[in-house]
Amino acid sequence: MIGFMEEQLEKFQEHYQNRGRLLINCPDAPGIVAAVSKFLFEQGANIIESSQYSTNPQGGNFFIRIEFECPNLKAKAVEMENSFFEIAHTFSMEWRFTYVSKIKKTAIFVSKELHCLRELLWAWQSGDLLTDIGLIISNHEDARAEAKIFNIPFYHIAASKDNRASAEQKHYALLEEFDIDVIVLARYMQILTPDFVKRYPNRIINIHHSFLPAFVGAKPYERAYHRGVKLIGATSHYVTNDLDEGPIIEQDIHRVDHRDNVEDLKKIGRTVERNVLGRAVKWHLEDRIIVHGNKTIVF
């Protein structure tokens, strides 16, 4: 399986070796799009896709994502980025270039619930998630068989509130060894320490099994049942040190009624969780998300 996926990724990298992306966040002002478009034109680039958003044309913030093709992009990338500093300074931009052929490396953390892990693996196998899944880490053994099917390295690291710091030292070593870019918590039911979160800002994606901000924390389905809700949902967000309050990437809901017990809610919710997490991870991998404060702009 790994050999097949490596072959597919190599073909993808070759096909998109000249494809780049530019993401910008800055104060809104006249001339931003014109200046950026002119810059890319002078670099010999052709704009493939462009999406933009302004919070308020009069003194608000401006966001734009541009995907472009540029001959010999790999060779001229550093020069292009250096040349962009002048425009960035003029408009007080926060900005970054990314390169489609540089496949992001992903680590998946999971506990006993495997439905979100399976969704990610299926999407990865089918080519819908263009990433290199470096490893799976779990505080239980349940996911070992799934990892073996896909020939992905699996590491069981016992973790609880009593040994959280020592467990994370092992996590750090593995994440560095595999050169991981993004961490996905696919129903990993452990709270991360502030030090861990600080090391990976806007690079840890979580799935929470409720429609936040409702039912933050543990046992949201049980609390939703006792509250008698008519809608349940799931939320994928970036992890911060405020529990389940990081920037929201994606959400969805499903209608329920009085006939549904807690187990029914969990069964219905698993489908919502899988879909929401899958979309959030895909958008992150495609550089479609700009974080602004505790919100996201998703193009």
**244 is known as an active-site residue:** yes
Does residue 15 sit in helix, strand or coil? Answer: helix
Measure the CA–CA gap between 16 and 98, rounded to whole angstroms: 12
Kindly report the number of other CB atoms within 10 A of residue 71's CB atom: 11
Contact 106, 277 (CB under 8 A): no
Tell me the β-bridge partners of 234: 252
- Edge-to-edge strand list for the sheet holding 182-185: 154-156, 132-138, 105-110, 182-185, 204-208, 231-238, 248-255
Extract the tokens encoding 274: 């899988």
Residue 247: cis peptide before it, omega within 30 degrees of 0: no
Q: Measured in whole angstroms, how far is the alpha carbon of residue 216 from the centre of its chain?
A: 20
Does residue 89 sit in helix, strand or coil? Answer: helix
Given 181, 244, 260, 287, which residue is catalytic? 244
Residues 6+ apart with CB under 8 A from 128: 278, 282
Contact 71, 44 (CB under 8 A): yes
Would you name the residues annotated as active-site residues? 244
